[in-house]
Amino acid sequence: MPPEYRIAELFEAASAVKVRAHVPYSGFPVGAALRDETGRIHAGCNVENAAYPEGICAEANAVGAMVAAGARTIVELLTVSDGDLVATCCGGCRQKIREFAGADTPIHAAGPEGVRRSYTLAELLPDSFGPDHLA
């Protein structure tokens, strides 16, 4: 599958769930979609809560959907959000992604028009702590 097609599938899935985000406090909807080791796509959106620290990021929801479906490896991930700036995964989500992804896993940050910038997990979370440290 060509890279453009893979990214387009993730963008479509992330955009579709972004509109369902529950963001009454920040007004900043985010959608995330990831591809697992079998090629399946799992998506999630951010869900805010009146008790602010209890909200859940889109990436965390997508990872949870992947795990619930029985997969254990993130092959590629894309987030989509509005605004003029490139919005990457927060630090907590970078660590959640690290649990299921390798250093070279592509992570794409998109806006409504498409991918704005692509990174590897190692670029977003250098010298990270992960499951291999506990083996």
Residue tagged active-site, from 37, 59, 76, 113: 59
Note the helical H segments in the chain: 3-18, 58-68, 91-98, 121-124
State the Cα–Cα distance between residues 112 and 8, nearest whole angstrom: 12
Residue with tokens 């907590």: 92
Is residue 12 annotated as a catalytic residue, yes or no?
Answer: no
Closest by CA to 60, choosing from 75, 47, 51, 69, is: 47
Closest by CA to 33, choosing from 101, 112, 108, is: 108
Closest by CA to 10, choosing from 45, 46, 41, 44, is: 41
Active site residues: 59
